[in-house]
Amino acid sequence: MHINELVEHWTIPDEERDLIAGKRDATRLGFAILLKFYTQHGRFPRGRSELPDDVVEHVAKQVRVPVSELGFYEWSGSTIEYHRHQIRTHLGFRTCTTADATKLAVWLAEKGAHAERRPDRVREELLKHLREERIEPPTPGRISRIVASALHNAEVAWSVRIASRLSPGDRQAGFSGLAQADAPTDPAAR
């Protein structure tokens, strides 16, 4: 990573130093990295493997904790959950609820998925919207389910709009044609 990126995205400003002040050693470094990662990406890292070494070194120098201490930071358990809560509160984010996921699928079907059919693009729209709404993105699996639901709902809405433009006779003829198309073509099967 270029030094300008490190300074711009991974430097700890004074107002964030207050959050870090009461923590020690591995906890101090882990918290600082979680905070800066969340500020940068709008979510928490899934583990040490998502953290470039130069980022860890840059943050470690600022909090005056050896890089090696990060190996003692626990990536699961009550401490990291408390850290996540503190960071969300500080940045004004909240976790994604089941009700949020339902609303997001509806919003996405109406706003993003009706014009775009590629799941990766629809996912990008969802992540952008989550950040704007200050909602922490759910797990990747849940995001995939929200996107799939939105794409399905957009497809259904599109089909209903097309069907509503047809006259009753055309709709009946279309459904009859579909039924005939679905019928077995083997005369012995009839």
Helix/strand/coil for 180: helix
Q: Show which of 60, 91, 122 is a domain's final residue.
A: 91
Give the pLDDT band of residue 108 (cuts 50, 70, 90): confident
Domain count within the chain: 2
Q: Show which of 91, 123, 148 is a domain's final residue.
A: 91
For residues 79 and 105, state if they share a domain. no
Q: Using one digit for the tens of pLDDT, what is the confidence trace for 57-99?
A: 999 999 999 999 999 999 999 999 999 999 999 999 999 999 9
189 lies in a domain? Answer: no
Integer Cα distance of 117 and 132 in angstroms:
22
Q: Is 43 exposed, middle or buried (0-12, 13-18, 19+ CB in 10 A)?
A: middle
Tell me if the pTM is above 0.85: no
Q: Of 4-8, 63-67, 141-145, which range is least confident?
A: 4-8
Task: Report CA torsion sign: 53, 144, 88, 112.
Answer: positive
Helix/strand/coil for 94: strand
128 lies in a domain? Answer: yes
Q: Show which of 25, 56, 91 is a domain's final residue.
A: 91
Identify the CA nearest to 100 among candidates 143, 159, 47, 64.
143
For residues 166 and 143, state if they share a domain. yes
* Mean of pLDDT values over 109-134: 84
Structural domain boundaries enclosing 168: 98-182
For residues 63 and 117, state if they share a domain. no
Please indicate whether residue 189 or residue 67 has the higher confidence score (pLDDT). 67
For residues 105 and 67, state if they share a domain. no
| pLDDT for 171 | 58
